[in-house]
Amino acid sequence: MIEFKDVTKTFATKQGAVHAVQDVNLSIEDGHIYGIVGYSGAGKSTLVRMLNGLETPTSGSVDIDGVEITVLTGTKLREQRHKIGMIFQHFNLLWSRTVLQNIMFPLEIAGQSKAAAQKKAEHLADLVGLAGREQAYPSELSGGQKQRVGIARALANDPQILLSDEATSALDPQTTDEVLDLLLDINKKLNLTIVLITHEMHVIRKIADHVAVMEDGKIVEQGPVLEVFKRPKQAVTKRFVNEEVTPSLHDTTAVVEQLVAKYPKGTIVQLTFHGDQAKLPIVSEMLKQYGNLDLNIIEGNIHQTQEGAIGSLYIQITGDPADIDGALAYLQKLRVETEVLNRE
């Protein structure tokens, strides 16, 4: 269990005091994948670096399982760091060491024997899918492979917590998904708490179960990912969620306007699906019940998140007004969020 209590970090600069982190209160349960999302400069990096003491708060406290990190120094702090793995945007591997030697690095630091470290490193290389590449140097690896080395290295001392600092931001979309799948897999296998910071909502959607949105050093919104995706409250959250759920909202509006002009008789409805609803054949059930209606799908997208699916669908319904009313009532009965965008 990680707890941030009234955490504030202020940097003194020539331009005056900069509040990198302000009044942050956050609890992260064991075994969760907690995403912290925000644009660059929002204070995410500073916040997670307080977990391993790379940054210290100006005021407030950071606890991990009841141990206050903020007051640890010297040997105590270093021992605590052994229990927290960290992966980085630019991997930060030692180029002078092979894959295996890189994974052994934190074990050497923790004072393990060479034989034990080597055995552990071989097992970890296997776990992250680098079997056969142990003797390669980082310069011979692709970005995705480098991050796998980073992950294996972060896991070497059997940490309870893994911090991920924009770990996929330097990777292409396909490699990003592979690395995220690996993180999810590790989270399940090792019951590891993962705190990840990112500016990509895609990353949150794909593996996080909880999310906190940061802006100007403050957490402006937090909760289970699906909750936040469903009902974003803050403007910044809406921007992140919209980027993800309706990447082409603007286009869709144009399409709706065109369709309204083209089919003035139609009723245009936006359906929003949450969780299990997205798995059900709701639209076809509706058509079976109101067989005289015509349906035209304008646009739609459904995303899978860790807590279920979420998505929206734009449809145009034409037919008898009574049937249309019935269909809309049916959809509402199934708790599908319906919004009539245009009705003749």
Partner 1 sequence: MNDQGLSSYFQFSNVDWGNMLTSTWETLWLTIVSMIVVAILGIALGLLLFETTDSHNPLVRLLNWVVALFVNVFRSIPFIILIVLLLPITQKLVGTIIGPRAALPSLIISAAPFYARMVELAFHELDHGVVEAAESMGATRWQIIRKVLLPESMPALVSGITVTTISLIGYTAMAGAIGAGGLGNLAYQDGFQSNNNAITLVATVIIVIIVFIFQFLGDLAVKHIDKRA
Residues lying near partner 1 in the complex (CB under 8 A) are found at 52, 54, 77-82, 84, 86, 88, 90, 92-97, 105-106, 108-110, 137-139, 157, 163
User: Residue 228 has which token pair?
Assistant: 């936040």
Smallest distance, Å, CB 159 to partner 1?
10
Backbone angles phi, psi at 287, to 5 degrees: -65, -35
Burial 32-66 (b: 16+ CB within 10 A, else e): bbbbbbbeeebbbbbbbbbbbbebebbebebebee
Give whichever of 79 and 325 is closer to partner 1, judged by the CB atom: 79
Other CB atoms closer than 10 Å to residue 73's CB: what's the count? 9
CB of 243 to partner 1, least distance (A): 28
Distance of CA 298 to the CA centre of its chain: 29
Using CA atoms, how far residue 150 sits from 128, 147, 182, 277, in Å, is 10, 5, 12, 38
- What is the nearest approach in angstroms of partner 1 to the Cβ of residue 158? 13
Of residues 262, 156, 244, 239, the one with CA closest to residue 208: 244
- Given a contact cutoff of 8 angstroms between Cβ atoms, the answer to whether 56 and 132 are in contact is no
Q: Which is nearer to partner 1, 27 or 80 (CB)?
A: 80
The nearest distance, CB 127 to partner 1, in angstroms, is 18
Label the pairing between strands 59-64 and 67-68: antiparallel
Nearer to partner 1, 54 or 340 (CB): 54
Closer to partner 1 by CB, 86 or 336: give it: 86
- Shortest separation between residue 334's beta carbon and partner 1, angstroms: 49
CB 37 → partner 1: shortest distance, Å? 22
CB 20 within 8 A of CB 188: no
- Residue 56 or 157 with smaller CB distance to partner 1: 157
227 Cβ contact partners less than 8 Å away, ≥ 6 residues apart: none
Closer to partner 1 by CB, 108 or 339: give it.
Answer: 108
